[in-house]
Structure 1
Amino acid sequence: MKNLIKLTVFAFVFLLGVNSVNAQTLSQDADRPEVVAKAKADQLTPVLDLNGDQQRALFRAYTAKEANYKKHINGKDPKDATVIANKQKFDEALKESLKKTLTDAQYKKWLSLKDN
């Protein structure tokens, strides 16, 4: 009887551990602003030859942009005046942030990459 109780308790604890591991993997969604921003920063780092501070600033700027897009633009009517105004505002905020962070040569290169 004692062994049966021990086995039941062990199985219960094991199942709780499996559920918490599963919950951690679900939270790393590819649509999260941080994940998208990290991918974008990693993509642009070798192209623009960014240093560590610039890479962090780029990550923060793209995180803010993606979070705002997710909240105010994604899933809404793209022809709506409010959505168009918000999109323009968020894009301008990204440009201003990157203009402060990047050198003139890096910023021009980023603009040429962005237009393509």
Structure 2
Amino acid sequence: MKNLAKILAIAFIMVSGVQFANAQSLSQDADRPEVIAKKKVTELASKLELNDSQERALFRYYTSYEMKYKKNIAGKDLNEPKVAAEKKEYVDDLKANIKKTLNEEQYNKWLGFFKEDL
């Protein structure tokens, strides 16, 4: 009887551990640059009436921006001049690339949705 109780306790712990690990990996996936970029592009696609090539280009630009931001800006003091300059460089690069991809009307709409504090 003691052995059965031990086996059930171990099985319960194993199942709980697997569920915890799975939940943790899902929350980490939501923070990945590709996931964030896909979410932003999906929101913009209907608002700006993007075609497939524009969606792919915006996905690349946003993924690149998110990777640079997470690597060099996230968690740092934005009031520090070097960090602020890097962020401005990344935002300007994103704007320039998007301006090349969208037409004038789409770009002006995009500017209305764009938040400087990405």
Equivalents in 1 of 2:106, 2:35: separation in Å? Answer: 23
1:82 maps to: 82
1:66 maps to: 66
Structure 2: unaligned runs, 5 residues or longer: 1-17
Residue deviations 1:32-57 (CA, integer Å, cap 9, x gap): 10000000000000000000000000
Q: Structure 1 residue 115: deviation in Å?
A: 5.3
* Structure 2 letter corresponding to 1:70: K
TM-score normalised to structure 1 length: 0.75
* Structure 2 letter corresponding to 1:30: A
Indicate whether 1:29 and 2:29 are aligned: yes
RMSD: 2.5
Equivalents in 2 of 1:114, 1:26: separation in Å? Answer: 27
Equivalents in 1 of 2:52, 2:36: separation in Å? Answer: 18
Structure 1: unaligned runs, 5 residues or longer: 1-17
Indicate whether 1:56 and 2:56 are aligned: yes
Structure 1: which 4+ aligned runs deviate by more than 3 Å?
Answer: 25-28
Equivalents in 1 of 2:67, 2:93: separation in Å? Answer: 13
Percent same amino acid at aligned positions? Answer: 52
Residue deviations 1:76-109 (CA, integer Å, cap 9, x gap): 1111111100100000000011011001100011
Q: Structure 1 residue 28: deviation in Å?
A: 5.8
Equivalents in 2 of 1:37, 1:28: separation in Å? Answer: 15
* Structure 1 letter corresponding to 2:57: A
Alpha-carbon spacing, 1:71–1:115, altered in 2? closer, same or farther (3 Å): closer
* Structure 2 letter corresponding to 1:39: K
Equivalents in 2 of 1:75, 1:111: separation in Å? Answer: 26
